[in-house]
Amino acid sequence: MPLLREVQTTFVGAMLGGDAAPAAEYVAVDGLLPEARLQIYRHHVVSSLTAALQATYPVVARLVGDGFFRYAAHEFIGARPPAGPCLFEYGEALGDFLAAFPPCRELSYLSDVARLEWSLNVATHADEFVPLDPANLRHLGADDAEALTFRFDPSVSFVASSWPIDAIWRANQPGADPDRTVDLDAGGVRLEIRRVGDDVVFRGLEPAAYAFRRSLLAGRSLAGALTTAQAEDEAFDLTEALRALFEDNVLSGFRLAPVRKENSS
Amino acid sequence: MPSRERDDLRAAAGIGLRSVHVAEVIATRPAVPWFEVHAENYMAPGGPALRALERIRESYPVAMHAVGLSLGSADPLDARHLRRLRALVDRIQPVLVSDHLSWSTLGGVYVNHLLPLPYTAETLHLVCDHVAQAQDALGRRLLVENPSSYLSFRESPIPEPAFLAEVVRRTGCGLLCDVNNIRVTSVNLGLDPIAYVDALPTGAIEEFHLAGHSVNDADGVTVLIDDHGARVAPEVWALYDYALSRSGPRPTLVEWDSEIPALSVLLEEARHAGALMDSSVAGERHAVAS
């Protein structure tokens, strides 16, 4: 008998759409042919992973139709199989995959809808958190803006698109009015996605507010995020933006980095 | 977990907790002795599913059935996955923890299936090492389940029940005896299911699984597919009854994973399993008395 590793290497190949012949060499011949027996396993691998992707990407599946989704999922599974056994973590790369997938290149909003659905999935499974009490920041002053960074509700993420992906998503929910059409020329959106209680929600933000929050989430200082926001809107109001952050209960903590002085010798 | 709770499960038939039934379970608190969950569905840091499981755990014993340890993989066990399972076990305090005699991970790729193993001395050594490591990491006994198979290997000299018996002997693990899997494997590979049960170390069986399968025709050959998508088949009930006569009553679980019916159907199946357990206990007493 060859080493187990050699047998398993051929099986992984056969399961992910490669040549089944090397694996079949190891299989006992009895009644049904080895290739047909391997095909039973392969069928389950592809259909169960397709179902997992469909559960994470129901709107994408609906937009392209069941048959095409199965085809795209089949190609995706072969190219990007799961790295681990928690299937709620599988499929982050589907948006990028679809953007480069020649058969649906003309549906240019599809990959952005996929990114929105991935964000919804991440928010569903994110950790719980305790909102930051603004009273904890009372001792801070304007001088601290360079050093102040925030931690967010772990379910929060941001997705921007040049298509109205929020309207596309809503029009493709179960129970949505089938006669309602989406105006694809309505322009783009900047969305904040998070979980509130048991519900995952998203909403559109103005360009400056989006830039501000997204910069903070990425770890930029309050001063840095302000600069980014003002690049979108010179009249951006920092006080109002901070008030909204606390009103939305979107922050979970803050950090005051040690002050780095230039030429401190 | 207090051993008292495990003792209470001894002659009780539970059901697999499926997401479509969770709200109904929380709202109606059905009279079911215990639930089993798939561990990998609850390994997220948070979210409504995990919160609901914690609520259900307050009222019911919960067993944890894993699919991701890949005990038969030629690669080392995934240390991160083991840590996540340990964290979930610490959080939920399940009464039983199990995984399969199979493999699904190699080279950082997870193939979403319980893939078959050639039963050789090399595999036996590897599986025993992995079971022992998993038990150390979890700080408790692991139950190992017999898989359903659609192929056997040209070179696989150790029969599956003998292989399982040796894993039990070397590692002290328990057995999760899936009666439906014995039926499926026996038909697909031409084995005698009664002889299979007879060859198992029945004293190590700590849990039974029951489920439905589908019957298919592949090029004129009957193939049973373990799809957990139907009621338990009559032949499986009969084999379960036979296994009970060998092992005595054990916690028994009715699994249903595709085409999931109303909760009441699962409860009916579990009641039938419970009745078979009761009559096997009565038969035992009768045998002792006569």
Task: Output b/e per residue, B117-130; b: 16+ Cβ within 10 A.
Answer: bbbbeebbebbbeb
Strands B143-145 and B97-100: parallel
Give A34's contacts in chain B (Cβ within 8 Å).
151
Distance between CA A246 and CA B278 in Å, rounded?
A: 60
Phi-psi region of A219 (alpha: psi -120 to 50; beta: other; left: phi over 0): left
Report how many domains make up chain A: 2
Cα(B191)–Cα(B182) distance, integer angstroms? 9
Tell me, yes or no, whether A153 and A231 share the same domain.
yes
Domains of chain B as residue ranges with CATH: 3-289 (3.20.20.150)
In chain A, % of residues over pLDDT 70: 97
Residue A91 Rama label (left phi>0; alpha psi -120 to 50; beta)? left
CA distances from B180 to A223, B185, B237 (A): 63, 9, 9
Nearest CA in chain B to A34: B151
For residues A136 and A262, state if they share a domain. Answer: yes
Chain A residues with beta carbon closer than 8 angstroms to that of B81: 84-85
Tell me the mean pLDDT in the region A156-162. Answer: 97
| Domain membership flag for residue A65 | yes
Q: Are residues A152 and A258 in the same domain?
A: yes
- Neighbouring CB atoms inside 10 A of B242's CB total 16
**A232: in domain:** yes
pLDDT(B6) > 70 = no
**How far, rounded to the nearest angstrom, does the alpha carbon of residue A135 sit from its chain's CA centroid?**
33
More confident residue, A177 or B254: B254
Rounded to whole angstroms, how far apart are CA atoms B12 and B270? 9
Could you tell me how far CA B231 lies from the centroid of its own chain? 17
pLDDT at B285: 64
Find the mean pLDDT for residues A248-264. 78
CA distance A11 to A26: 10
Encoded tokens for B251 = 């916690």
Compute the distance between CA of residue A87 and CA of residue B45 in angstroms, rounded to an integer.
Answer: 14
- Buried b / exposed e along A202-237 (16+ C-beta atoms within 10 A): beebeebbbbbbbbbbeebbbebbbebbeeeeeebe
pLDDT of residue B14 exceeding 90, the answer is yes
Asked if residue A194 is part of any domain, the answer here is yes
Burial class (CB in 10 A: 0-12, 13-18, 19+), B158: middle
The confidence score (pLDDT) of residue A177 equals 87
**Together in a domain, A103 and A206:** no
pTM of structure: 0.93
For an interface test with A, which of B26, B110, B189 has the most A Cβ atoms less than 10 Å from its Cβ? B110
Q: Give the Cβ contact number of residue B267 at 10 Å.
A: 18
Q: What are the pLDDT digits (tens) for A93-118?
A: 999 999 999 998 888 899 999 999 99
- Asked whether residue A241 is domain-assigned, the answer is yes
C-alpha B102/C-alpha B246 separation (Å) is 25
The whole-chain average pLDDT of chain B stands at 94
Model confidence band, residue A17 (pLDDT cutoffs 50, 70, 90)? confident
Residue among A1, A12, A26 whose CB faces B111 most closely: A12
Could A4 and B47 be called an inter-chain contact, meaning their C-beta atoms sit closer than 8 Å?
no
* Boundary residue ending a domain (A107, A140, A172): A107
Task: Give A26-47 pLDDT, tens digit per residue.
Answer: 999 988 999 999 999 999 999 9
A125, A155 contact by CB (below 8 A): no
pLDDT for residue B1: 45
pLDDT band at B248 (very low <50, low <70, confident <90, very high): very high
Do B126 and B95 meet the contact criterion of CB atoms below 8 Å apart? no
Confidence at residue A264, expressed as pLDDT on a 0 to 100 scale: 40
A215: pLDDT strictly greater than 90: yes
In this predicted structure, the answer to whether residue B174 has a pLDDT above a threshold of 90 is yes
Cα separation, B160 vs B119, in Å, equals: 7
Assess whether A47 and A139 both reside in one domain: no
A146 and A75 inside one domain: no
Chain B residues closer than 8 Å to A5 by CB: 74-75, 106
Residues A101 and A138 in one domain: no
For A108-155, the pLDDT digits (tens) are 899 999 999 999 999 999 999 999 999 999 999 888 999 999 999 999
Asked whether residue A123 is domain-assigned, the answer is no
Same domain for A88 and A163, yes or no, is no
- pLDDT tens-place string over residues B106-153: 999 999 999 999 999 999 999 999 999 999 999 999 999 999 999 999
Q: How far, in Å, CA of B193 to CA of B191, rounded?
A: 6
Is A61 a residue whose pLDDT tops 80? Answer: yes
- Local confidence band at A262 (pLDDT 50, 70, 90 cut-offs): very low
Bridge partner list, B100: B145
**Pairwise CA distance, residues B35 & B45, whole Å:** 21
Of the residues A76, A107, A138, the one at which a domain ends = A107
A17 in the same domain as A101 = yes
On the 0-12 / 13-18 / 19+ scale of CB atoms within 10 A, B86 is: middle
Q: Half-sphere exposure (CA, 13 Å, Cβ side) for A93? A: 14
- Chain A within 8 Å of B162 (Cβ-Cβ)? no
- Whether residue B102 lies within 8 A of chain A, CB to CB, comes out as no
Same structural domain, A81 and A136: no
Cα separation, B228 vs B16, whole angstroms? 11
Query: Is the Cβ pair B151, A8 closer than 8 Å?
Result: no
Q: Which SS3 state, helix, strand or coil, does residue B15 take?
A: strand
What's the length of chain A? 265
A52 contact residues in B (CB cutoff 8 A): 112
Q: In this predicted structure, which of A109-123, B185-199, B276-290 has the lowest mean pLDDT?
A: B276-290
A121 in any annotated domain: no
Average pLDDT over residues B15-36: 96
CATH number at residue A235: 3.90.930
Residues of B in contact with A48 (CB under 8 A): 112-113
What percent helix, strand, coil does chain A show, rounded to 5? 50, 10, 35
Chain pair A-B, CB pairs under 8 angstroms: 141
- At B56 the pLDDT is 97
Helix B121-138 crosses helix A4-15 at what angle (to 10 degrees)?
80
Query: By the CB < 8 Å criterion, does B79 face chain A?
Result: no
The answer on A265 and A140 residing in a single domain is yes
Residue B288 has a pLDDT of 57
- Band of the pLDDT at B170, cuts 50, 70, 90? very high
* pLDDT at B2 (0 to 100): 46
Say if residues B212 and B230 touch (Cβ distance below 8 Å).
yes
Is A8 in Cβ contact with B118 (below 8 Å)? no
Burial track A80-116 (b if 16+ CB lie within 10 A, e otherwise) = bbbebbbbbbbbeebbebbbebeebeebebbbbbbbb
Residue A120 lies in a domain: no
Contact B126, B138 (CB under 8 A): no
Q: Is the pLDDT at A263 greater than 80, yes or no?
A: no
The answer to whether residue A181 is domain-embedded is: yes
Per residue in B43-96, pLDDT tens? Answer: 999 999 999 999 999 999 999 999 999 999 999 999 999 999 999 999 999 999
- Please give the full DSSP string across A42-108, using - where no structure is assigned: HHHHHHHHHHHHHHH-HHHHHHH-HHHHHHHHHHHHHHS--SSS-GGGTTTTHHHHHHT-GGGTT-T
pLDDT of residue A168: 96
Q: Is residue B98 over pLDDT 60?
A: yes
Do A142 and A205 sit in the same domain of this protein?
yes
Predicted pLDDT at A106: 84
- Among A93, A155, A149, which residue's Cα sits nearest to residue A123? A155
**Which structural domain range is residue A53 located in?**
1-107
Domain boundary among A107, A139, A165: A107
Name the residue in chain B with its Cα closest to that of A51: B258
